[in-house]
Amino acid sequence: MEELNSEFYKWIDEHAKDDPLKLRLKYVKQSGGFDYDAAIRQIECRRQFRKKLADTLARAPRFYFPTRLSGEQSTSDLLADYHKTLVKINESLIDLTSGLGIDVFHCAEVCSRVVAVEWSEKLARALRINAAQLGRDNIRVICGDCRDVISHPNTEMFGTAFIDPARRDANGGRVFSLADCEPDVTAMLPSISKICRRLIVKMSPMLDISHTINALDGCSQIISLGTATECKELIAVKDFDRKSSEIEIKGITLLPDGISDFSYTKEEEQGATMPNYSIPESGAYLYEPFPSVMKLSANKLLAVRYGLDAFHPNCRLYHSAEIAEAFPGEIFEIENVIEYSSKNIKRFKKDFPLICVTARNFGISSEVLRIKLGVKEGGERRVIGLTSYDNKRLLLIVKRN
């Protein structure tokens, strides 16, 4: 792109701290040696995605955003670094839905060669520009429909294929079935199996795990991937040459100091005994699984593996008298257990005027509970409203361990 010259980037650097709205009013109608609208978009995107793509932008100061939407829809550097661990060192990779290419750029660090498929000419052109900016000469970009690419008789063989189908329908509504995503991976499986040995499918965390396994006609791994505060996506790994029907299920949480990995098989979960249901004493410990682990619904196995009691079959919180530090989630110390009664509700605000409020299996939302208690949200302590195994409604006062 001849317009992306030194003058283009010099102008961006000079106006990096300016108000984009004022820049548009002043420059967008001006003619010059480059596209002012594109230059202003770079300023906006660098601000909007400076945390999400911090590593990429640091390595490529002239990284080019073809559209703002491509940045919004792209995976983060944090997730892409994990995706990179799913491919084998020095193998070949094809990404069938490359988008902005963050996964492509990260995987190219370990793969011998990467083919990036992107249907949009604008995004495909940006992929070539950014691959050069990052010094990734092992990336080849194909502009076209991935369905045409995989069905072409001359398509080469790859070790792994990535695909991230669109998670919304034509009207922008969320979809909850893999077959309803675009493109339909389930219909593409026969063709994909002819060009790679392994398929990695990135999906919305809203999709049902059992339904997804059936839709893919089985897989070797299902990974629920997220951070300490949010489940970001589901990942299915399908090995086409694999004979075993066993499926490994993983709850992966990316933390500032490393990775929390909760792994098991479906057989382990099915064979787990029912947990003991009880009400804890003050001084005990409360356990809240990370969102990626919560998504897996391995309720019995969590309790059994870490020696915990549960509150209720419908409440995914646990407790124990002794701390289980390896638990894949947040651990709190229980300061008090209060019965949810009119008398206790009336005095609650006086004792805890500022407290974080959460409702779990309680019949009302967290916000409604906060209003009933008459407290302000905040502070170091947290009150959790829940229903016990004997249908008692309780308020647990906890603080992070």
pLDDT band for 166, please (50, 70, 90 cuts): confident
Q: Are residues 151 and 216 in the same domain?
A: yes
Among candidate residues 207, 235, 263, the one where a domain is terminated: 263
Q: Are residues 207 and 248 in the same domain?
A: yes
Q: Are residues 139 and 80 in the same domain?
A: yes
Cα 96 versus chain centre, distance = 19
Which among 218, 213, 269, 209 has a CA at the least distance from the CA of 241? 218
Instruction: Please indicate, yes or no, if residue 100 is contained in any of the structural domains.
Output: yes
Per-residue model confidence (pLDDT) at position 171: 63
How many angstroms separate the CA atoms of 104 and 80, rounded?
9
Q: Are residues 205 and 112 in the same domain?
A: yes
Q: Are residues 127 and 187 in the same domain?
A: yes
Per-residue pLDDT of 287-332, as tens digits, reads 999 999 999 999 999 999 999 999 999 999 999 999 999 999 999 9
Which among 379, 375, 376, 372 has a CA at the least distance from the CA of 399? 379
Report the number of distinct structural domains present in the chain: 3
Instruction: Please indicate, yes or no, if residue 320 is contained in any of the structural domains.
Output: yes
Per-residue model confidence (pLDDT) at position 397: 98
Q: Where do the H-state alpha helices sit in 29-145?
A: 36-48, 54-59, 68-73, 77-84, 102-107, 121-133
Per-residue pLDDT of 262-292, as tens digits, reads 999 988 988 999 999 999 999 999 999 999 9
Q: Are residues 209 and 128 in the same domain?
A: yes
Per-position DSSP letters for 324-379, written without gaps between them: -TT-SEEEEEEEEEEE--HHHHHHHHHH-SB-EEEEESSSS-HHHHHHHHT-BS-S
Per-residue pLDDT of 8-36, as tens digits, reads 999 999 999 999 999 999 887 777 778 89
Residue-number span of the structural domain to which 335 is assigned: 272-400
State residue 73 phi and psi, 5-degree precision: -85, -10
Over range 44-66, report the average pLDDT.
Answer: 97
pTM beyond 0.85: yes
